[in-house]
Amino acid sequence: MSEALLEIKNINTLYGHSHILHDLSFRLDKGQSMSLMGRNGMGKTTTLKSILGIVPPRSGHVYFDGEDVGRLPTWKRMRRDIAYVPEGRGIFHNLTVKEHLQMAARPGSDGRGSWDYDRVLETFPRLQERLSNLGTELSGGEQQMLAIGRALVTNPRLMILDEATEGLAPLIRQDIWSVIAAIRESGISTLVVDKNIKALKKLCDRHVVLIKGKVHFDGSSEELDLNLENVERALSL
């Protein structure tokens, strides 16, 4: 049996008295790619924030590479090689593209440094042209490329992307999907939230669909195909 990179077990997450995630469990194996889907407000972002400890679950466990990281602060989880590309991208208005990448660059926890500043610029030639531009001067697509580039230079083993292509023009979306595929090919596991089921089916090995903070579907791309109607119903308005 393959080894789990990320495993969450029976997570319950609340905002005050609002119970959002109910006994949520799933696992992502090493080298694999997983999609997390669901209609607006179903708990996708809350799941990602629970994994990272930004919103710590009230109960349950988060295991990363076999270690229970559930009590660690967010920055320590990220030092275990988890990178996060948040919804809204989190680009700093007053820093240039170059500064964003230089500030974030570091080897992985075991010294891996395959994704460095130069490789990111080779992957995103658009960023190369924009090195001295401030965050505010970038288009939405360029901001997303920078957010992904900034995550890559930390040499993660797991990259988490929230709303990976939301609000981007179709051609830029295609670029982002190609880059996520390349990231995955380079051996980094990915956990991707997006609405494009077709792109996710091609890119990811496993798929989890949430309804009201519970797992409605969890399966491979083949199983997703077999349950497509059911899953599409869970995703439609």
Ligand X SMILES: Nc1ncnc2c1ncn2[C@@H]1O[C@H](COP(=O)(O)OP(=O)(O)OP(=O)(O)O)[C@@H](O)[C@H]1O
Interacting residue ranges for ligand X, rule: CB under 6 A: 15, 18, 20, 38, 40-46
CB of 68 to ligand X, least distance (A): 23
Between 62 and 127, CB nearer to ligand X: 62
The SS3 of residue 37 is: strand
Please report how close the Cβ of residue 169 comes to ligand X at its closest, in angstroms.
20
44, 111, 145, 185 from 126: Cα distances, Å = 30, 28, 8, 21
Residue 199 CB partners (closer than 8 Å, separation 6+):
165, 173, 177
d(CA 5, CA 146): 25
In angstroms, give the least distance from the CB of 20 to ligand X. 5
| In the complex, minimum distance from the CB of residue 8 to ligand X, in angstroms, rounded to a whole number | 14
Q: In angstroms, rounded to a whole number, what is the distance separating the alpha carbons of residues 68 and 9?
A: 11
Q: Which is nearer to ligand X, 78 or 235 (CB)?
A: 235
